[in-house]
Amino acid sequence: MKKIYSPNKNTWKDILKRPTQTVEDIEATVLEVFNEVKTKGDSAIKKYTSLFDGVQLSDNMVSDSELNEAESVISDELKKAIQLAKSNIETFHAAQKTEMVSAETMKGVKCWQEKRPIQRVGLYIPGGTAPLFSTILMLAIPAKLAGCKEIILCSPPDKKGKVNPAILYAASLCGVTKIYKVGGIQAIAGMTFGTATIPQVYKVFGPGNQFVTVAKQLATKFGVAIDMPAGPSELLVVADDTADAAFVASDLLSQAEHGADSQVILVSTSKSLIEKVENEVYGQLAALPRKDIASKAIENSRLIYVENDETALELINEYGPEHFIICVKEEDLYVNGIVNAGSVFVGNYTPESAGDYASGTNHTLPTNGYAKQYSGVNLDSFMKSMTFQKISAEGIQGIGEAIELMAEAEGLYAHKNAVTLRLQSLK
């Protein structure tokens, strides 16, 4: 891990740079797949599933028998853990429901706002070495609470044409409507355009590799919304001498094992803690099954010493971490002062892993600095706010002249006339 001491402010941009790489031909590849799925539908889906996943499928929809089989192979212990997480996630997201907002802006002019669910949403769940069944809980639960009528899920099959049983169990438990054995670019394209088997959705959610990320961004050009721009996972920990070095190291490694392009950063006002954490990282790393992946991420990571908490907070807000852990004596300074972070974890006994799985908050969060302008997924992500208004005869008489004057000033006389006719009818 690269250690940096008292960096000058004009170097912050460089030392906080993400390790993401731009692949020049990636958008061309994505667009090629999109165009073929748009014109050839399911036959293109099958082609790319064979090409990218190495399996030929006669039917890409998961059957009831496959769901039953998946439930039978999941241990009772894991089922209980998933159900506990589901309960906590439901509790926290149900608490996000808001009442109708209503105001009479002037006599006889009533305006109100109500929320309506997005009718059809698509969830993308990666498979591979880390099948993220926990992400189903984070997406399907708020979608169900919001009232989405159709919840479509795509996840890549393995070489045997199967989807990870934990993914299937979680999807069934959380009320997913239909599940498809489709991954990568072709899954996003299928949900964007719709095929004979895969419904077209209105919004796509979920993480993925760089190809999936670009595919989601491309989907927005075809009228499909996405949850947020997303990239490799990242974590920043701020810690001082009150922190437990072993805990801090374990948190850094928990994100490093996501992928070689993940990034973890420790910011500290204690040089001795930095040394302790570095030793712990390499000690714990040796015992990890995914140590090869985590080791590459550690190469992209930083141990940064700063002189005081105020400088640390300014640097952290400049970075805008996806996950932010606070392990310091003056925790209120950071809790009250952080403005750019996806999700915040406070105290020595609050690991980032808790938010990833079972505390109740959502783990689908903005990365790559997008925490400066994007929120993580929440109940409102699956809803639209609609405004309503009703104007009485008294109301149009009170507001009408102002509308006429403004419309005329903009040269929109039909707008003015729509009011004038009503006012004349009341004379």
Residues making up the annotated binding site are: 124, 186, 209, 233, 255, 258, 323, 356, 410, 415
Does residue 308 sit in helix, strand or coil?
coil
* Apex 83 CA angle, 232 and 120, nearest 5: 60
The residues carrying an active-site annotation are 322-323
Determine how β-strand 302-305 pairs with β-strand 323-327.
unpaired
d(CA 200, CA 1): 45
In order of 45, 65, 185, 190, 297, the CA distances from 150 in angstroms are 21, 21, 21, 15, 37
Contact 251, 237 (CB under 8 A): yes
| Residues of each annotated binding site for substrate | 233, 255, 258, 323, 356, 410, 415
Q: Residue 406: left if φ>0, alpha if ψ -120 to 50, beta else—which one?
A: alpha
- The DSSP secondary-structure symbol of 107 reads T
The alpha carbon dihedral of 178, 181, 183, 187 has a sign of: negative
In DSSP notation, 198-257 reads SPP-SEEE----HHHHHHHHHHGGGT-EES----S-EEEEEE-TTS-HHHHHHHHHHHHT
| Residues of each annotated binding site for Zn(2+) | 255, 258, 356, 415
